[in-house]
A and B are shown apart, each in its own frame.
Chain A
Amino acid sequence: MNLRRDVFQAIADPTRRAILLLVASQSMTAGAIAANFDTARPTVSKHLQILTECELLKQEQNGREIYYHINAKKMKEVADFIESFRKMWDDRFNKLETIMKKYKSK
C-alpha cells in the first residue's frame, strides 16, 4: 500500500496544508512556492510531489515553467468524506428527535 497516495495523510502535514492554501489563491511555480517557506527547497519539492501524487495538486506546463494549481475536484472529495459522516449522525439524531417527540405526547 502506498501511504503517500492517502489524501488524509497528505493534508495531515502542516507545511502541505500551507502549500495548498497558498496555491489555492493562484497557480505558482515550485520556486515561487518554496520562496514562501524557510524549509529547504528539496523538502518543498518533496511536499509538492506528495500533493501531486494524491492529486490534490495538478501540474501545468507553461512555456519552460511548470505551474502547480489546486485540483478542486479532489479537494471536494475530502470535504465529502466529512459530509457523509455528518449525514450519518444527522440521520440518527433526526430519528432520535422523532422518537422522543412521540414519547413526549404519549
Chain B
Amino acid sequence: MEQKTKIKAENGKQELVITRDFDLPLELLFKAYVEPGIVEQWMGTKVLKLENKKHGSYQFETTDPKGNKYGFNGVIHEFSPNQKITRTFEMENTPFDIQLEFLEFEKLTDESSKLNMHIVYRSVALRDQMLQLPFAQGINMAHNRLQDIVSKLK
C-alpha cells in the first residue's frame, strides 16, 4: 500500500519535505490549522495563543503523562487562507535553533486535498538530530513503560 504521509530528507541537506494527501476538502484541511480547538485535538497540545495573520504569533504547551510541560512557539510570516502559511517554530528550553516552515495547501478534488510542509533547519546536523527525536522519544516511552511494569512487581 502506498504511504499517505511521505518524508523527503535527502542526505547532507538541511531541509526536509513532508507531504500528505487528505480525504478532506481543502477548506476543512486548512481549518484544522487555524481553529485553536481543532489544533489542540490533533496535535495533542494546548493552544495558548494562535494569531492567524502576518506578524502574528502562536504558543503551544504540551504536558506529558508525568506532568512535565513543554513549550513551543513561533511567528507567522505569511498567512493566505486555503493556500499558505509560513512560520517559524521553536522548542522552548532546548538547545535547538528555530526552524522555518512553509506549509502549502492544495486542492486535489472537491473532496481531497494535499499538504506540502517544507522545513528548513539551521544546519544539516540539526536536521538529522530532529529526525532522531521521535526515535529517542520512542525509546524513552518504552523505558517508562518498563519502569511502570517493574514498579508494579515490587
Contacts and interface: CB of A to CB of B under 8 A. Distances in A.
Interface residues of A, number: 28
Contacts, number: 88
- Interface of A (DSSP majority class): helix
Contact of B128 (A8, A80, A95): A8
B138 interface: yes
Interface of A: 8-9, 11-14, 17, 80-82, 84-90, 92-97, 99-101, 103-104
Which among A13, A81, A92, A95 has the greatest number of chain B C-beta atoms within 10 A? A81
Given A88-B134, A93-B20, A103 B38 contact: yes
Given A95-B41, A101-B23, A90 B12 contact: no
Contacts of A87: 134
4 A-B pairs with least C-beta separation: A8-B128, A90-B5, A96-B42, A95-B42
Contacts of A89: 5, 7, 18, 20
Contact of A8 (B4, B115, B125): B125
Interface of B: 3-7, 9, 11-12, 18, 20, 22-25, 28-29, 31-32, 38, 41-44, 115, 124-125, 128-135, 138
Contact of B43 (A8, A81, A84, A92): A92
A8 to B, nearest CB: 4
A8 B3 CA distance: 25
Contacts of A8: 125, 128-129, 131-132
B131 A81 contact: yes
